[in-house]
Structure 1
């Protein structure tokens, strides 16, 4: 199945998240089989990253968005562990610092976009400016409405400079979110994740739904597509993200660079050193 196309938000399309199934059991219902395949997919992703790092002709920006407990951290832990950290960095965006707040809203994101050969993963992103700021009326409507075009222009500029952009919205329903909040209360090693905001944000569920629908439909483009990922089942979420990443990376047609040295001369040097080592 072509997961890339199936879960991609088509440019210009309408999206109704209330009708989007966060489980999608009809697509895959065997976690054991998926886990076996995921190891193969991680190995393939590692190979592709290695080639891209060596090629140094492109970079990749991966955006993860979702409601509280949607699984952004879990996706990073289970999917991106395949990556060599030498070429992949994760950036988490919290409340802007004083310095960040003194610049335009894209400044703090632009300064950490990936260079050639590298991958950057944004755990939350510049889209917070049309999500939380919109829902809580932190800026006037005439301000956040302009940001869709500003975001599209920003992403177009990155794409024009050899950055591939892949954006994932991790979709869960309110019942699953509450169940995950319960597990945080039951697991001491998850206490650190608990926040008052977990519960204070729930009354705004419908407002966030509308904000996400607008962000995904207005800002899913051919050069920076959004993917809506069913995330109630964590293993399936990871599986789908991996499949989409593999499809995207393979479409880049990455090639290993040609050597810049005289291999015959290097081989002669090697054999000379080996001969010395053997006492010859």
Structure 2
């Protein structure tokens, strides 16, 4: 299996080293890609079922990326065969007045995965070291404090039984333009388009710098960042499915032992 190391942020790897148009899988055609994704989705369903039955550990998948990078599409395809019983999706939007009145991690604690659960965060606590930085709402000292808080928060999760998998969906400016235009051209996709998307796009370079700094500051040994090339939607989905399955397999999940009392049960 091809290593994910080239896509993992570290001392020798940064956002600028990764091409948004890169393809991790070298499959021969679209049909082969869809077939492989189906296989991975079915395997994920089985792994999630054992995680839920084992009821000892937790998994958190963080999906972070700019508009149109494909967070919704990733969830739709990667979890297309997974039972909803043990998977919970939380979408992080602009904080409410209630949330802004508390520390920035307050709303995150309420949606961390429970035992046996796989949680998916569509955007995340990382919004609070991206948007405020680009908009100039917090200074450099506060940004560094938030990085430290995030690293400690994730260490807490890991040390209490959570496997944290963080994926930044890396899209090019050219591909984002195509996808935004597609939303404008198709009436059935108008609901996906917001004028605010254009404001964010006008700050493209600022966001690239904010992402690069955030990735370097918060990719840790206990919760590393993976940058997922997102210009190709199928390869984006395939890569995240493969990564998630690999991490779940590495957990060596086990079905719980049967209750000895069951051997004497007779159903009339």
Query: Is contact 1:61-1:119 (8 Å) kept?
Result: yes
Query: Is contact 1:55-1:257 (8 Å) kept?
Result: yes
Correspondence list, 1:41-120, <5 A: 41-120=40-119
Give the equivalent residue in structure 2 for 1:256: 255
Q: CA deviation at 1:260?
A: 2.2
Correspondence list, 1:108-147, <5 A: 108-147=107-146
TM-score, normalised to structure 1, is 0.91
**CA distance in 1: counterparts of 2:42 and 2:30, whole angstroms:** 18
Give the equivalent residue in structure 2 for 1:218: 217
Q: CA deviation at 1:13?
A: 3.4
In structure 2, runs of 5+ residues without a counterpart are none
Query: Is contact 2:25-2:235 (8 Å) kept?
Result: no
**CA distance in 2: counterparts of 1:265 and 1:16, whole angstroms:** 59
2:19 equivalent among 18, 21, 26 = 21
Match status 1:8 vs 2:5: no
Match status 1:237 vs 2:202: no
Radius of gyration: which is bigger? 1
User: Comparing 20-29 with 227-236, which one deviates more in the overlay?
Assistant: 20-29
What secondary structure does 2:85 align onto? coil
Q: CA deviation at 1:80?
A: 1.8
**CA distance in 2: counterparts of 1:185 and 1:85, whole angstroms:** 32
Q: CA deviation at 1:181?
A: 0.6
4+ runs of 1 displaced by more than 4 Å? none
Q: For residues 105-135 of structure 1, what are the alpha-carbon distances to aligned partners after superposition, in whole Å with 9 as ceiling and x for unaligned?
A: 0010111101110011111100011111100
**CA distance in 1: counterparts of 2:8 and 2:146, whole angstroms:** 22
**CA distance in 2: counterparts of 1:92 and 1:40, whole angstroms:** 27
Q: CA deviation at 1:198?
A: 1.5
In structure 1, runs of 5+ residues without a counterpart are 274-280
Q: CA deviation at 1:66?
A: 0.5
Q: CA deviation at 1:26?
A: 7.6
Q: CA deviation at 1:25?
A: 4.3
**CA distance in 2: counterparts of 1:14 and 1:37, whole angstroms:** 28
What secondary structure does 1:62 align onto? strand
Question: RMSD of the TM alignment (CA)?
Answer: 1.5
User: Comparing 31-40 with 240-249, which one deviates more in the overlay?
Assistant: 31-40
Q: CA deviation at 1:5?
A: 2.7
